[in-house]
Chains A and B, each alone.
Chain A
Amino acid sequence: MSTLTNSTKPETTSQPEAVAAIARTRITEDWLAVWIGLFVFALSLGLLFGTDVLGWSITTSVWTSPAKALAPASKVYATLQPALSLTATYLFLLAILLVAAKFLGASLKRFALGFTVVFVLSYASWFLGSWAYIAATPDKRPGLKIPWSLSLTNESGFIIALILGLLIGNLLPGISRALKEAIRPELYIKTAIVILGGFLGIAALEQRQLATSVILRGICAIIEAYLIYWPIVYFVSRRYFGFSREWAAPLASGISICGVSAAIATGSAIRARPVVPIMVSSLVVVFAVIELMVLPFAAQHYLSGQPMVAAAWMGLAVKTDGAAVASGAITDSLIRAKAAASGVVFQPGWILGVCTTVKVFIDVFIGVWAFILAWIWSSKIEHRQGDQVRLVEIWQRFPKFILGYVATFLVVLAIGIASPALVPKIKAAMGQANVFRSIFFLMTFFAIGVMSNFRRLWQEGFAKLAVVYVLCLFGYIIWVALLISWLFFHGVFPPIVKG
């Protein structure tokens, strides 16, 4: 019985290096996300020392008159022209991301050009999404003097950015190629998640019991992704679709765990050729966009009475960090808008927080899972002389941005517990950091759209891979995710804003 097919052998010497190169790039991007996120977080904490470092950054409120839409984040900078505030925000982000681009070995000129387009179109989407007729929830209509609105909240800007990205990625390949250097959804979303940690720290400070309960319930996600999803997807693709082990393992990880990162880590662990996780990843990205465009609306329709179930469902069912957290953000706004229509105002951020917590729990164990698979493959399936799996590989595959997320969460929690009098200031500081978190989110949506090449699905032969994906994702994963989310999160509600 062949354990390693001959046809794969000629390429095996160069392929692990190529996979390692991908892994190295990702680790670098992970660390960069940590440093950028911590940098923004640290600057926002200037408020604790009486220095308003980020107050000049741009915010957009729900508007009926475009002239009144934009304003600086802090009243200290109230006299600053909105156009200057917007330019300063752009230049600040351009400067820190150019440093990141330098570390990533990108062409700085092309990155600067691409980032400018990404920023302008993403922020334009946010601006359009904040138009009162699109964004205003029913309770806000009288104040804005409008008779109707779509009640999508200003976070509909995310959906507009995604659609804009999809149009460019699929209809304007020339522009898509020109933007390539700045299309980095993983860098943007991981930076946003690091900043989000501080924002969730504030939520946890205010509702410690609820936060503890959410974290404990989030543990179930790990069991589900690794122990319940993975074996069934692997079995189905091997037994019923005849995929080789080299394809089935990254495919199972891509569909079950965390999309791109898991497919690459698994591919590397079982020594698959680099093309395998790359092709699986391209499929994961496309289907994550489909999930992102469908599931939050399904959640709003069917689960608005159980917001935390909807939140956990997004974290468990939507693949890739970017799309999962983005789905959490949309679900957060859609469910809060629907609840507001019936007079219940949920505190913002809790649905997003539960979704992110669940996703982060799943991410934490990618390294451990890759280690286990590497050990099984090298010792039991493809016996390779002198091939030793090292424990350090768990650390090497650990998604480092989670350290940033935990750090900002714990710093806020520690300051708040040690000095309760500082809580209002920390809240204001996190509000300013949140401006940048929203922009990173927006750019993630836009970038996901640009890199989702739907034409790939029509490529000859891709259909079989897509069928396994559709069958497992829509026939098994999203339903099991719903069941488990229901088991652990039903009856848990975000705090209600009084008054």
Chain B
Amino acid sequence: MSEPRMTEELERMKTEYEPLLPIERKLIWWTFGSGVVLLAILVLINRAFS
């Protein structure tokens, strides 16, 4: 398999720019939000039992 050059890849990303889709935004913020909430819950549990 011939390896494409990174510069060609970057050039292609410039010309064929893919904007963030609503589903991607949803994935990002729901994931991050649930991470923060779960982390807060675990910190509280940790404090309560230690």
Contacts and interface: CB of A to CB of B under 8 A. Distances in A.
A387 interface: no
Contacts of A465: 6
B48 interface: no
Interface in A221-249: 223-224, 226-228, 230-232, 234-235, 238-239, 242-245, 247
B9 A461 contact: yes
Interface in B6-21: 6-10, 12-14, 16-21
Interface residues of B, number: 34
A223 B42 contact: yes
Contacts of A228: 32, 35-36, 39
A141 interface: no
A220 interface: yes
A274 B1 contact: yes
B24 to A, nearest CB: 7
A376 B27 contact: yes
Secondary structure of the B contact surface, majority rule:
helix
A460 B19 contact: no
B32 A460 contact: no
A13 interface: no
A139 to B, nearest CB: 31
Given A247-B13, A275-B4, A227 B21 contact: no
A219 B17 contact: no
A460 B6 contact: yes
B40 to A, nearest CB: 10
B5 A231 contact: no
Given A5-B16, A227-B31, A275-B3, A220 B36 contact: no
Given A231-B27, A376-B23, A461-B5, A223 B32 contact: no
B47 to A, nearest CB: 9
A381 B35 contact: no
B7 A461 contact: yes
A245 B18 contact: yes
A1 B9 contact: no
A1 B1 contact: no
Contacts of B28: 231-232, 234-235
B39 A275 contact: no
A459 B4 CA distance: 12
B16 A381 contact: no
A238 B5 CA distance: 20
A109 interface: no
A422 interface: no
Contacts of B39: 220, 223-224, 228, 484
B30 to A, nearest CB: 8
A223 B14 CA distance: 33
18 contacts: A3-B21, A220-B46, A227-B31, A227-B34, A227-B35, A231-B32, A234-B24, A234-B27, A238-B20, A242-B14, A245-B18, A275-B4, A279-B6, A381-B24, A459-B6, A461-B8, A464-B6, A488-B46
Interface of B: 1, 3-10, 12-14, 16-21, 23-24, 27-29, 31-32, 34-36, 38-39, 42-43, 46, 50
Given A223-B42, A247-B13, A279-B3, 9 more contacts: A5-B12, A220-B39, A223-B38, A227-B36, A231-B27, A243-B13, A245-B24, A462-B6, A488-B46
Please give me the 7 A-B residue pairs with the lowest Cβ-Cβ distance, nearest first: A227-B35, A461-B6, A461-B7, A228-B35, A231-B31, A231-B28, A231-B32
